[in-house]
Amino acid sequence: MYIPPHPTLSEQELSARLAAWAAESNRFPWLSSQDLSEWFHIVEEACEDTNIASSQWADAAVVLISEPNLKSAVQDRREQHLKETGQSQWEWLDFKDDLRELIVNGIPPDTSTGTRNPSEEGNDSPQHLAERLSAWASQQNRYPWFSGSSKDLLEWFTIVEEAFEDNQLSHKEYTEAAIFFISGDLKPVMEERRLKYLEKSGDEFWSWDGFKEDITRVIDEAERIIAQEQSMPGGRLGKTKNAVSRFNQDHPYIAASANAGLVVGGAMIFVPALGLLALHAIGITLGGVAVTSVAAAMRSVAYGGATAGFYSVMEYIGAKKPKEETPKKPEDQPAPLANPPPYESMGEGTSTPVQYAVFKSKRRRQ
């Protein structure tokens, strides 16, 4: 995946890139019990693969230190080093020497019991929550990052529920913590869905059961669309992958955004990583649009400004906004899904996942 160079990435952006790399490469970049030289090599590989400038390799390495006392000592050493040298960045070679020295001299053990003050329940900042979850992940034998495959979903639910318990999270933090452990294009999609749910429902938080139901539906629908594409005669998948790669390179900001989404069968599909496959499945090709297919299968473009973003994507691949068409005869209509999701039968105003979640929330309060 192409990522444009950025010399001043924030700690949050560094963390996001490294977590995505870990999930995609099935590597574990956090400093734990591995040999220090081996860890340095892993950090270098991760930074190169994610296009992190060498001037920020030390910053990236600090993000990957999960032991609280060691991380604090390293951060203090960084400030001291920059003050003494007058430099704006901690050079990678200097960082490695300083870290070795800190470890050789010994870091005071962490005496924290890990018990949270009940008055602080649910008040973790996103950054603190991310640090706690990263520290937890570095001590586990199982891989907690989820890349979006339905076959791994149930096991992932179990793993993140262990994270909730081990870190003494409140119910309010469950969904936010789960989204932290999602990698790739699915992560911004689920984060946007969470924000939209909170906005529309008025609830303080998105319940864990509601989140699990929603992400299951999104993944099932996405995999159904991909399966349809792969089963089509002539095999357009390779050409579509090339289009995805070209779009990612030409429009890296859009490719990393959740603002271009397509709702098909009641679920939001991310553009372009899944979106171009979805467009093909409903009749939009690199050469143009099969209007009748679009009119039959496309339900809506979701979430405010996403409409413009979606049609800009369509125009980029040679598609045009579908026109109104003459209603079809009943016998020409596509057969309904064998098992339509419940929100498709809840009546007017509840045809999308967010609307359905809001409907359920209001019903619970009645």
34 — phi, psi (to 5°)? -70, 160
Mean pLDDT over the full length of the chain:
65
**Cα distance between residue 211 and residue 176, in whole Å:** 10
Structure tokens at 75: 């951060």
Indicate the pLDDT class of residue 289, thresholds 50, 70 and 90.
very low
pLDDT at 19: 78
Compare 259 and 42 and report the one with higher pLDDT. 42
pLDDT cut 90: percent of the chain above it: 11
2: nearest Cα among 323, 250, 298:
250
In terms of average pLDDT, the best of 24-28, 64-68, 226-230, 351-355 is 64-68
Compare 262 and 95 and report the one with higher pLDDT. 95
**Cα distance between residue 335 and residue 60, in whole Å:** 52
pLDDT at 124: 62
Do residues 309 and 254 lie in contact, with contact meaning Cβ atoms separated by under 8 Å?
Answer: yes
pLDDT cut 70: percent of the chain above it: 51
Residue 57 pLDDT exceeds 90: yes
Give the contacts of 36 (CB within 8 A, at least 6 positions apart). 99, 100, 103
225: nearest Cα among 191, 286, 273, 287:
273
224 — phi, psi (to 5°)? -65, -45
What letter represents residue 132's amino acid? R
Going by the DSSP 8-state scheme, the letter that residue 204 receives in this structure is S
pLDDT at 274: 39
pLDDT at 43: 92
pLDDT at 347: 44
How many other C-beta atoms can be found within 10 angstroms of the C-beta atom of residue 60? 23
1: nearest Cα among 17, 12, 15:
17
- 3-state DSSP assignment of residue 143: coil
Compare 263 and 29 and report the one with higher pLDDT. 29
Residue range 148-174, pLDDT digits in tens: 788 889 999 999 999 999 888 988 999
Indicate the pLDDT class of residue 58, thresholds 50, 70 and 90.
very high
Indicate the pLDDT class of residue 366, thresholds 50, 70 and 90.
low
Decide the pairing of beta strands 284-285 and 267-270: unpaired
Residue range 4-55, pLDDT digits in tens: 545 578 887 888 788 778 777 767 777 765 578 888 999 999 999 989 999 9
**b/e 317-343 (16+ beta carbons within 10 angstroms → b):** bebeebeeeeeeeeeeeeeeeeeebeb
Domain boundaries along the sequence of the chain: 11-105, 185-207+222-332
Indicate the pLDDT class of residue 335, thresholds 50, 70 and 90.
very low
pLDDT at 113: 37
Structure tokens at 44: 């270098």
Going by the DSSP 8-state scheme, the letter that residue 329 receives in this structure is P
337: nearest Cα among 189, 229, 235, 220:
220
Structure tokens at 321: 């906004």
Compare 320 and 12 and report the one with higher pLDDT. 12
**Cα distance between residue 248 and residue 264, in whole Å:** 22
pLDDT at 236: 45
182 — phi, psi (to 5°)? -95, 140
Indicate the pLDDT class of residue 94, thresholds 50, 70 and 90.
very high
268 — phi, psi (to 5°)? -85, 130
Residue range 191-244, pLDDT digits in tens: 877 887 888 778 888 899 989 988 887 777 667 656 655 565 554 444 444 544
Task: Report, as an integer, the average pLDDT of 325-334.
Answer: 50
